Structure 1
Amino acid sequence: MDSEGVAMVWQIFSGTGEPASVEAWRALPGPPPWRNRGAAVRHFVPPEGLLDAVNAALHLRRPLLLSGPPGSGKSTLVGLIAAELELGEPLNWHVTSRSTRADGLYQYDALGRLHATQTEGDEGAAAVQNFVTLGPLGTALADPSRPRAVLIDEIDKSDLDLPGDLLNVLEEGIFEIPPLVRDAGAGDHASEKSSTLYHVRGADRAFYPVNNGLVERTNWPIIVLTSNNERTFPSPFLRRCVRFEMPTPNADFVQKVVASYLAEAAEQEQAKIGEFAQRLVAGENLALDQLLNYIYLVSGEARDGARDRLEEVLLAELSGK
């Protein structure tokens, strides 16, 4: 059965290369619920202590730094916070080793504007604000209507200075967009300073007011930082965060997670759930969605013959090999 209780055909692909029917693709099942972000948020099972850490971060207006292995639910939490507090869609920023402070605040397409000034007959099309886009953090600071939830994912992959630079921006609640500042300054007069209001596209495709190229915080954003523990952070950075380490799931917790998605199958697969939990406690590098994938696929009689092969494929340790 799939997540909606509909019987699934296991062997959709036969390997013969011959189409089974004119519209064989219709045999493709819907995705399992944990592959849908909205469903994953609704089924999220918070580990003990996490709710207190979230509430501490909300009261203190501090970022929440979640640490733990991949697949432990760290990035799902921000969607749950945004849904419960009615903050709109979360703003997501996936950090890499090349990410800079500016990437989170704004991007400016200088080459695009240069091309537009040379080819467009309409001056409005080449207006500088058309080539500025706010980043996820910049959008949250610019939104005057409500606080926004921001996920800064895998902050431990960044260069050494980025975490501190971002917290400095959050503390100050203000940053400049130099192309807009220069454009506004070009209209200054000797006796009076003009005020130029720009409307800049955000990371969520909405437009936000920016006065004279200066973004000033109206509402404190709710920031969730995640780390896979690939590096350590300096003490000044840690001091300005509320920290929570996602605990190693025990058998009871794993059972709750599986039951939240696959209630009947969870009862039938208690032995496999206990075995998986033991592997986690022993320090093996595993993610809970591996177990969900496995139980989801082997819970039907038509797939009993593939059970051992699926276990080998889906429940192998995440060694990177």
Structure 2
Amino acid sequence: MSSWLVFRGSGEPHNGIDDLPPPPNWRRFDGGPPMPVPGNSADPTIGRRLGRRRPALAGHTNPNAVHMVNAALYLRRPLLVTGKPGVGKSALAYEVAHELGLGPVLTWPISSRSTLAEGLYQYDPIGRLREENLRQLREGQPRTDSVAADASPPTGGVSRPDLNGTDADEASIGRYLTLGPLGTALLPYDRPRVLLIDEIDKSDIDLPNDLLNVFEEGEYVIPELRRLTKTAPRVNVLTADEDVSATVSAGRVRCRAFPFVVLTSNGEREFPHAFLRRCLRLTLTEPEPDQIAAMVEAHLGADVAAKAREMIEAFVTNRNGTGVYATDQILSAIYLRFSRSDTDSDAAMMQTVRAVLSDLSMSGPG
């Protein structure tokens, strides 16, 4: 095994992240004070994502993936992973988090409505005003003026006037401000967090460009806290990790260890050159029969993998033809076929299995 590999693709946890060299001068960040990664490497979703035995889906099946993961870790750059659905793009993020002990994976699923602000933080000024009114009512004080009738609902990260100027404890704003997955990943952790930005090609056309400055600078400002710097220089806020909070100083969040960012794409759109220049790129190909068998073994056991070999071979043959198929289909079909031992002669079951394996480009029932 090459000595430069921090991530080995072995599927076995180790402390290799401690051997990661310092970043290049142009990718050094000085956020602080340093924070420990919350919890441990036992992300409860890893077992579901990678199977009982947590196989090295990226490592054993695609050595190039291991090399590109290490390049992204060394260079402190995001990794743009492209491939068809079901090839293990998002699983790669969970594999890295598990093997290197980088804590729970922070996930940001992208839709056409996703914005940079949503990924950084969300602020609920109306909820803050409502609680202040309730406090004043309990104490017999005059009620604070209510929000104007045309006030729109709070949106993530949009700077708004402070609707609760009567709150004597300005630091309480932190109860109504929650960092998003990207905003949490940029906290000054002593080890890089793993951030999965899933299906970036579904985003609005502006989001990739909006991410450029955050990726380059490794920091962002929260205007709602920035305005309170003199009266509340340190504010405790909620994070994307369950039951975990963090302190933000002077309204600015700056990373210490740049996060390991995996952006997944199904190859459905082109990205701006400026965005691509700031990412490393990896294309995952569709798994071959042996690789699918390894996945089946990890999720369903060696006995099922052996019994399903014929199904796997037929699936790969169909997939390599003119139809459209996803690896998830064969895993689901094998589970259905072998989940019970008494279905060999069940015609309805076999018909259902064939429907699950139908060509995705065909409309209507399989």
Give the structure-2-normalised TM-score: 0.71
1:199 is aligned to 236
User: Partners in 2 of 1:89 and 1:166 — Cα distance?
Assistant: 22
State the SS of the aligned residue for 1:257: helix
Aligned-residue identity in percent: 42
Matched, 1:274 2:325: no
Q: Partner residue of 2:361?
A: 319
Deviation at 1:285, TM superposition (A): 2.3
Q: How far did residue 41 of structure 1 move?
A: 7.9
Pairing 1:260–2:298 present: yes
Equivalent pair of 2:188/2:254 in contact (CA under 8 Å): no
SS in 1 for 2:178: strand
- After superposition, give the CA deviation of every residue in 1:11-46 in whole Å (9 maximum; x if it has no partner): xxxxxxxxxxxxxxxxxxxxxx99823637813522
Q: 1:155 aligns with which of 200, 204, 213?
A: 200
Alignment partners' CA distance in 2, 1:112 and 1:320: 48
Displacement of 1:312 in angstroms is 2.5
Instruction: Kindly provide the amino acid, as one letter, of the partner of residue 241 in structure 2.
Output: D
CA deviation after TM superposition for structure 1 residue 231, in Å: 1.0
Say whether residues 1:59 and 2:74 are aligned partners: yes
1:298 to 337, 343, 355: 337
Counterpart residue number, 2:116: 101
Q: 1:257 to 1:38 in 2, by over 3 A?
A: closer
With over 3 angstroms needed to count, the CA separation of the structure-2 counterparts of 1:284 and 1:125, relative to structure 1, is farther
Q: 233-242 or 260-269, which moves further after superposition?
A: 260-269
8 Å CA contact 1:175, 1:216 repeated in 2: yes
Q: For residues 319 and 35 of structure 1, what CA distance do their matches in structure 2 show?
A: 31
Within a 5 Å distance, the mapping from 1:39-50 to structure 2 comes to 39=51, 42-46=54-58, 47-48=61-62, 49-50=64-65
Of 127, 134, 148, which residue of structure 1 is paired with 2:179? 134
Q: Is the 8 A contact 2:94 2:105 kept in 1?
A: yes
RMSD: 2.4
Would you say the 8 A contact 1:180–1:212 is kept in 2? yes
Per-residue deviation, 1:236:
1.5
- Deviation at 1:137? 0.9
Q: How far 1:103 moved relative to its partner? A: 0.7
TM-score by length of structure 1 reads 0.80
Q: Which residue identity is paired with 2:358?
A: A
Q: Relative to structure 1, is the Cα distance of residues 283 and 257 closer, same or farther in structure 2, using a 3 angstrom cutoff?
A: farther
Q: 1:38 to 1:294 in 2, by over 3 A?
A: closer
Map of 1:226 onto structure 2: 264
For the pair 1:88 / 2:103, whether they are aligned, the reply is yes
The unaligned stretches of length 5 or more in structure 1 are: 1-32, 188-194
Select the residue among 71, 85, 95 that pairs with 1:70.
Answer: 85
Residue of 330, 343, 351 corresponding to 1:309: 351
Residue 96 of structure 1 aligns to a residue whose secondary structure is coil
The CA distance in 2 between the partners of 1:87 and 1:268, in whole Å, is 36
Deviation for aligned residue 1:53: 1.3
Separation in 2, partners of 1:125, 1:38: 44
- The one-letter code of the counterpart of 1:55 is N
What one-letter code is carried by the residue in structure 2 that aligns with 1:75?
Answer: S
Distance 2:103 2:46 in 1: 21
Match for residue 223 of structure 2 among 172, 178, 191: 178
d(CA) in 2 for partners of 1:62, 1:232: 19
1:168 aligns with 2:213: yes
Higher mean C-alpha deviation, range 295-304 or range 271-280: 295-304
**Equivalent residue letter for 2:49:** R
Residues 111-166 of structure 1, C-alpha deviation per residue, up to 9 Å, x if partnerless? 11121222224855982111110011111111434321000001111111211221
> How many residues are paired up?
281
2:288 and 2:275 mapped to 1: Cα distance?
31
Give me the whole-angstrom Cα distance separating, in 1, the residues matched to 2:132 and 2:209.
Answer: 37
Instruction: Tell me what 1:36 maps to.
Output: 48
More helix by share: 1
The aligned residue for residue 245 of structure 1 is 283
